[in-house]
Structure 1
């Protein structure tokens, strides 16, 4: 039979099976009806919307999800009367010819099939037995079926359950897959990479009975196992490298990703894996790892958009965290109860908001600040790094002691306290000379070349030992801000700065800018239009005339009033700006005549009075608090002394010069410590507020409409929390993995089964409720759940059990018989076969090509990506507006480490159905589209990988063309090519070789795609031909499919 004929047979069979009135209804009716398997899905899908758990939407006061209501006496007759169709109102309403009485009503756009009506009829006639929903009762260990089958070599109890169901349904099973397919399948499933030809050869040569088991054990010990397993969990955790909303700026939470990898490699028991993530911070003396694990519920999307309402987003974050936790651990669609009681499951709004209240008191702010690290965070300091920090602190502490001693010796008479006339005083404050002030955060624009300080040895210097010099072709700046002690503008002050313009290369314009809370005070000399900042003729850009004379130092002066800088204004930054040319800057400061009795930089009393009640910027937090929040009469002696010390050290013109030497000694140490500390990674962690927020049922899911108050609790239809003094997240997390819990173990083993077999025993992995599909093998699911729990939640042991089973090891060939009986392979009569996930496809190309860089962990990397993916969805102020791809090794890291921007995820991954990670995903959709093939053929990373693979063919594949192509085919597919396949590839190679020899430029263009360079010793035309062969191999269905 041809492939086309096979497809026609498949379609005809499917049509016959789906046709109304087919033999399916009588066949189903011939066996005893099971409520959970047969009846609940019908009622849930067609009736619960109006006659289900949601009281507010319920019609006719009728519930069909509970036995008491369904069987209760009503005005005419009960909805259901066991064994009596005539006295069952439901039967009348689903079979009547009267369109006004027919159920479901026409406006619901639902209609029962003859098969469904037959099932309901049989159920009523058999006694209309109700059962609790299958997933809401704790699993118990079922008896393992006894199976006698010469065709099915049972390896574990899993196979007994599968074989029993296959025997019941009739299609039979498949033989064990070939050894090549087995090692390829299990290597992909446990590491995310294909086996090497050498690994295949070793397995084929090993004739021992435990050869396959030894392969499995080796793969489970590989660090690649943890990386591969982590990817599935990170989908569920909605892990991303950006905040996800508004600016979608970068966030630093990659240490959580790396912890997940380590947890799988270390085989952390799943119950601990659960507790650490949901409540690691509440464990006694939590370790660094346990705190990092709490990043699970900091992975949700956040915002800092202007106009956002704090209360709304605190509410939304808690909803997300509750919904995600319920889905990931319990398979519940709990989010459906945010606005009203769940329409299909017994989850009330009270249940949801009780669950929500576990997460409602998180200490993270409503607005993320668009910053890399939004508190609470944890610095991941190693013991060696802590020792270095301690050394810095010791140095700084010693200098602080000397500053403290100097402060104790200060003698000061406040001019405001002197009764005799005080003469007007001329003051000069030097703000920049030889270095930026203490605490300055320097910057430059553009970011190259680096800031250049020149000395008298290699350039002119006006004052001191060095000056700032820059040569530019366009706009350029050297600047700083954030200084420890901001400059204070004196009354009547005049600024000055010294500039030297190179006569051989003069600029078009020069500018000085001052930073208060913004960069909005500027003066410019030369062409004011050359520098685009600010509105000309305003304090934002005040033109002060022509450029100063070149070839000599010129003192430039300008009054503070020209820039609308009032007396007392704090300046914490200065920018030296130019357009083109070579400019040297030196000695910037301010001069003024002042009455010391009224000047805050001369009089402590004036300074204290002027700042009282103000929210000062750029001062230490404790000084800011004392001025803003503590009245003078309420200050303690120590607080008054703190203000005096700060004034003498940083503000008072008469005393602060005495501390300049100490600051020059301290500042480099403080800066070095800051830079060292900045390099230590940090991550988001969970922490609760000291005082918990009150939680309420939010009416209709609106953040500002609280209803009844609720306290942390679990859904009422599930087992209660154990009685304890504290009902907190730790108690909740332990409840999830308690023996009595009906869902966690089932949901978890189902997702792991889905990972290896393509489809879960419960196909709807995200919904174990009434709208979800019932398990195809309920006894097997319970056996797996109980086994997993009783084996101490050992994930590696569980995974090994799955891949050692005969069920997993079956051949995946879909025979006509198997296809007709079970087109979706829900009975598992054949091995798993489906397209590989996005990350695995890319990683495989890198791996076989030899380009893969196996470095583990660290910040997300930015490999190749088409232009203009980030830009259309980005705001101008976003630090992820423009995609700047990495170079070197970062281009070839495993896809797990690719930087994930939520609003524009990596297109090479989303093309192959990777999620955006904006919300949890426990089951990826799987599509097969032409775009995917085009991606594999033309995307630069696949073309480059093909060239590198082609290069490996020439250098490692053997001496002849046939050997090389066969070697590459085997690496790409884990099997030897047939003669026909080899002939096609052989002809392709020589056809392309002739073409590229005739077009050497085309050959050169093809083999120079990407950052990695081709081996210049290889013939370009030959390498180009091998590149296209490799490109074909990487695009084979067999290369991107798990067989």
Structure 2
């Protein structure tokens, strides 16, 4: 059990010394970066002189091969070509920079290419070409029937609950699958979590807020058989549920309100009313819009409901994507289309389809033609600033005159089937590819015939026979509740992704999710009312030894609050949290901004420093999970930022105003912060501190409030 006494809370400021990064997340991002930015350049510009084929033809230059990772590290006549994580010591960079060598001899490749190579080397030069767990898929060798034997391309099915020894432990079907894996490993579940602990956990998980002292007292007095179920129903029915879970979706769809590149004061490509889409997501989640319809509306609401525009703002899913200057340039538009394919591919299907822009996917059964079949759908749309009511429109157009007067969506444009751009080069055109779905997911893959094809694409993705869509969202929801997904690469269900830790559980849960009308609230009920979810986070000595990573879920993981949960909890504790749902964006660092953190303004150009400091993802791209960081600056922010000082002052005044004696004030402080009463040691130390300067009671209480705000216990949930 962690000790959260006052001296420990002070000490934590000095103990936080570095940054931690999830290695699996970094590796996934690195390999994707290699496939998109590095491999195509090596193949097109380097292999002619620096590959096994060049060696076989007697054309190998400088004894240097660049077609394997080992060859890059060994190098040629001049030594290693790269030094991972040290681009300034890597001769390859000097060659690309035309510093000491000049490669390729045909001419420099440009600053962006050199920048990509520098970034890749700084990442450690991730490269799957040697010793990988799968072989690359070669051109014209895709046997789609054979490829569909891969686990993620097989339709999920119901599974009979496995036989277990301790059947009495089971509360939900989930539990039988989890328990069987535990028992096979010689493990048993942890004890059931204390009721107070469970309530704090489920309240944060479903609403992103701590339970009130009144919630705790009411639950502790309720010993009825359905007490937990009624708590879950209350939380799912609250508007705070949609506010909390919307952030997961906004991360996935790279929600932002401006662009990464803004020239001077030209903000014509920005999205002043992006918040309308955010409000739609919150409302849709609160209304438990079925997930299949949730998808369809965001890709094709205007085609589904042409005469009813209430849901058209959902088209911000694509309409709020990155836009670039020189939008009449084919090269620029190709980059925009790649973004759309990527967010649909990884976000909805868990496939890295965009890796096939320059070449057939090296590992998954996705041809370059598949990529351009999807890109053609988005090439047949246009970004539209649809006028708000009473807004002025430009002549011969449905565009608003000003972005300030519009909602930012998409609409169909003249249909356009794209040519394959050979190796991604828009100047080198291959065969034309009709707009259609992915061949691996649709054996017939008939061309889309209806307008842009957005509606047909949406229906294909949301088809209950699609083996990926339900699995992907179930895995994402599971990850948010348990800290670790069943498939540890949530946006990559391909061959380079992880295999599921509990495959039958994932299939069974995904199948039942569809059978229950694609209801996300049903899914939350199944998870939060399970015995697996109800375990204590204190594992046994054996479980910690046998299963240190908690793969078998023999205990609940202790989880750190996201920046949104933590800031909202601070506001709730201080008594300043404003309940307004929806509306325009705020600056989360503003001491007077008391709305929930989901309403923060999100900038691609310069992410708010408070959000960035606490691990908010880069809104320029799809984000599958949060990176956990721990830095000294985070604790300095708690101690010094005007926002935190203002909340500490408000919390201190709340305690002083609501209780007359010191013991009652301390009781309230701990009930608000930690949903418990202080231990005697904590009470004694607090009294010594608070009574040491009776002439400045408010100042002492403010400092004490900051100590509580900085505590580990407030940042973690058991």
The 2-side partners of 1:143 and 1:269 are apart by 26
For residues 739 and 267 of structure 1, what CA distance do their matches in structure 2 show? 18
2:294 aligns with: 273
Q: Which residue number in structure 1 is paired with residue 214 of structure 2?
A: 198
Q: Which moved more, 1:814-823 or 1:714-723?
A: 714-723
Give the match's secondary structure for 1:827. Answer: coil
Which residue is equivalent to 2:415? 692
Contact 1:177 1:812 in 2 (8 A): yes
For the residue of structure 2 that corresponds to 1:983, the secondary structure is helix
Q: Does 1:353 align with 2:372?
A: yes
Contact 1:696 1:706 survives alignment (8 Å)? yes
**CA distance 1:286–1:344, shift in 2 (3 Å):** farther
User: CA 1:944/1:848 → structure 2, altered by over 3 Å: closer, same or farther?
Assistant: same
Change in 2 beyond 3 A, CA 1:261/1:739:
same
Determine helix, strand or coil for the equivalent of 2:495: coil
Question: Do 2:382 and 2:411's aligned partners in 1 also have CA atoms closer than 8 Å?
Answer: yes
**Partners in 2 of 1:268 and 1:324 — Cα distance?**
21
Q: What is the rounded CA distance, in whole Å, between the counterparts of 1:111 and 1:312 in structure 2?
A: 28
Q: Deviations over 1:832-891 (max 9, x none)?
A: 311110111111101110111121212212243xxxxxxxxxxxxxxxxxxxx6x85xx1
1:223 alignment counterpart: 239
Aligned residues: 594
Give the secondary-structure state (helix, strand or coil) at the position aligned to 1:160: helix
Aligned positions of 1:1011-1026 closer than 5 A: 1021-1026=696-701
Q: 2:482 aligns with which of 757, 768, 780?
A: 757
Answering whether residue 644 of structure 2 is matched by residue 920 of structure 1, we say no
- Matched position secondary structure for 1:202: helix
Partner residue of 1:1010?
none
Bigger shift: residues 694-703 or 163-172: 694-703
Instruction: Tell me by how many angstroms 1:311 deviates.
Output: 2.0
Q: What is the CA–CA distance in structure 1 between the aligned matches of 2:544 and 2:638, rounded to whole Å? A: 29
Q: 1:678 to 1:347 in 2, by over 3 A?
A: closer
Counterpart of 1:846 in structure 2 is: 571
Aligned to 1:107: 71
Match of 1:292 among 313, 316, 324: 313
Distance change >3 Å, CA 679–CA 908, structure 1 → 2: closer
- The within-5 A match list for 1:455-854 is 682-689=406-413, 691-720=414-443, 726=449, 728-854=453-579
SS in 1 for 2:430: strand
**Given the superposition, is the C-alpha separation of residues 280 and 112 from structure 1 closer, same or farther in structure 2, using an over 3 Å criterion?**
closer
CA distance in structure 2 between the aligned counterparts of 1:949 and 1:794, rounded to whole angstroms: 38
Aligned to 1:245: 261
Whether the 8 Å contact between 2:346 and 2:352 is mirrored in structure 1 is yes
- Aligned residue for 1:359, secondary structure, equals helix
Aligned equivalents of 2:670, 2:461: Cα separation in 1: 48
- The 1:290–1:706 alpha-carbon spacing in structure 2 relative to 1, beyond 3 Å, is farther
CA contact (8 A) 1:281 1:686 kept: no
Residue 187 (structure 2) aligned to one of 171, 174, 179? 171
1:1042 and 2:717 equivalent? yes
Structure 1 contact 812–832 (Cα < 8 Å) conserved:
yes
Partner-residue secondary structure (3-state), 1:774:
coil
Secondary structure at 1:829 match in 2: coil
Partner of 1:314: 333
Q: Is the 8 A contact 1:236 1:328 kept in 2?
A: yes
Give the superposition deviation at 1:722: 7.4
Which whole-Å CA distance do the structure 2 matches of 1:329 and 1:703 have between them? 27
The reply to whether residue 377 of structure 1 matches residue 386 of structure 2 is yes
Give unpaired runs (5+ residues) of structure 2: 4-27, 48-66, 74-126, 135-145
Give me the whole-angstrom Cα distance separating, in 2, the residues matched to 1:947 and 1:834: 28
Q: Distance in 1 between matches of 2:328 and 2:411?
A: 22
Distance 1:721 1:989, change over 3 A: farther
Cα deviation 1:441-482 (Å, max 9, x = unaligned): xxxxxxxxxxxxxxxxxxxxxxxxxxxxxxxxxxxxxxxxxx
Q: Following TM superposition, by how much is the alpha carbon of 1:705 offset from its aligned partner in structure 2, in angstroms? A: 2.8
Task: Answer 1 or 2: which has greater strand percent.
Answer: 1
The DSSP-based 3-state class of the residue aligned with 1:255 is helix
- TM-superposed deviation, 1:115: 14
* Alignment equivalent of 2:660, drawn from 943, 959, 966: 959
2:582 alignment partner, one of 854, 857, 860: 857
CA distance in 2, matches of 1:1026, 1:703: 64
Deviation string for 1:956-975 (max 9, x for gaps)?
2x222122112111210111
Q: Distance in 2 between matches of 1:946 and 1:183?
A: 25
Separation in structure 1 between the aligned mates of residue 642 and residue 606 of structure 2, nearest angstrom = 19
Quote the offset at 1:143 in angstroms: 1.7
Q: Distance in 2 between matches of 1:341 and 1:180?
A: 53
**Could you say if the C-alpha distance between residues 356 and 203 of structure 1 is closer, same or farther in structure 2, counting changes exceeding 3 Å?**
same
2:91 maps to which residue?
none
For the pair 1:183 / 2:199, whether they are aligned, the reply is yes
Secondary structure of 1:707's aligned partner: strand
Whether the 8 Å CA contact 1:245–1:903 is kept in 2: the answer is yes
1:714–1:720 Cα contact (<8 Å) kept: no
Deviations 1:624-644 (A, max 9, x none): x9xxxxxxxxxxxxxxxxxxx
The answer on 1:902 being equivalent to 2:612 is: no
- Deviation track 1:590-644 (CA, whole Å, cap 9, x = no partner) reads xxxxxxxxxxxxxxxxxxxxxxxxxxxxxx968xx9xxxxxxxxxxxxxxxxxxx
Name the SS of the counterpart of 1:296 in structure 2: helix
1:288 Cα deviation from its structure 2 partner: 2.0
Contact 1:714 1:721 in 2 (8 A): no
Deviation sequence 1:802-858 (CA, Å, 0-9, x none): 111111111112443222222222211111311110111111101110111121212
**Cα distance, 1:246–1:116 mapped onto 2, change above 3 Å:** closer
Paired residues of 2:158 and 2:507 also in contact (CA < 8 A): yes
Q: 1:220 to 1:821 in 2, by over 3 A?
A: same
**1:985 is the counterpart of 2:686:** yes
Q: What residue is the counterpart of 1:936 in the other structure? A: 638
Name the SS of the counterpart of 1:171 in structure 2: coil
1:254 alignment counterpart: 275
Contact 2:381 2:411 in 1 (8 A): yes
Distance 1:967 1:130, change over 3 A: same
Kept in 1, the 8 Å contact 2:337–2:375? The answer is yes
Alignment partners' CA distance in 2, 1:915 and 1:160: 35
Q: Which has the higher helix share?
A: 2
User: Aligned to 2:161, which of 121, 144, 147?
Assistant: 144
Residues 241 and 860, structure 1, Cα contact 8 Å, conserved in 2 = no
**What is the deviation of 1:723?**
5.8
- Deviates most, 281-290 or 677-686: 677-686
- The answer to whether the 8 A contact 2:340-2:378 is kept is yes
Contact 2:350–2:472 (CA<8 Å) still a contact in 1?
Answer: yes
How far has the Cα of 1:769 moved from its partner?
0.9
Bigger mean CA offset, 1028-1037 vs 693-702:
693-702
CA distance in 2 between counterparts of 1:712 and 1:308 reads: 22
Q: CA deviation at 1:139?
A: 1.0
- RMSD (Å), alpha carbons: 3.5
> Which whole-Å CA distance do the structure 2 matches of 1:721 and 1:295 have between them?
30
Secondary structure in structure 2 of the residue aligned to 1:245? coil
